Amino acid sequence: MRRLDPHILLSALWLFILLNIIFRDIHQFVLASHIEMLLTGYYNGIKITEGLMLLGGFLVQVPIAMVLFSLLLARRIGRPVTFLAAIVTAGTLLSSSPTDMDDTFHLVIEIVALVAIFWTAWMWPVHEHSAPQSDACSS
CA distances from 75 to 62, 72, 82, 89, 108 (A): 18, 10, 10, 20, 28
Q: Where are the domains of the chain?
A: 6-122
Which among 98, 94, 93 has a CA at the least distance from the CA of 21?
Answer: 93
**Amino acid found at 97:** S
Q: What is the pTM of this model?
A: 0.84
Per-residue model confidence as pLDDT tens for the chain (139 residues): 788 899 999 999 999 999 999 998 888 888 888 888 888 888 878 898 999 999 999 999 999 999 999 999 999 999 999 999 999 999 999 998 887 898 899 999 999 999 999 999 999 998 765 554 444 444 4
